[in-house]
Amino acid sequence: MNTNITVDAKGMACPMPIVKAKKALDSLQTGQVMEVLSTDKGSVKDFQAWVKQTNHELTQHVEEDGVYKFYVRKV
């Protein structure tokens, strides 16, 4: 997946992955995609709730070797 920015929030606990993601997403234009890397298991539910609240699109999330990858398209 093509991304415009990657946010490395590995090793950070809630709410820091969301805080860093929000700051990065503010710098993107509509339609651009942000990748967020997190090791916090709680971030799965956090990101699902956050995109619903902000009306952005969680296009995909995967887990590889304990790293959760979230792809968020700015709407």
The 3-state secondary structure of the chain, one letter per residue: CCCCEEEEECCCCCCHHHHHHHHHHHCCCCCCEEEEEECCCCHHHHHHHHHHHHCCEEEEEEEECCEEEEEEECC
**Does the global pTM surpass 0.75?**
yes
Active-site residue, from 3, 4, 5, 14: 14
Q: In this predicted model, which residue has the larger pLDDT, 32 or 1?
A: 32
pLDDT in tens, 10-69: 999 989 999 999 999 999 999 999 999 999 999 999 999 999 999 999 999 999 999 999
28 is catalytic: no
What pLDDT is stored for residue 1 in this prediction? 77
Hunting for tokens 């298991």 — which residue is that?
Answer: 41
Structural domains of the chain in order of their starting residue, each with its CATH number: 5-73 (3.30.110.40)
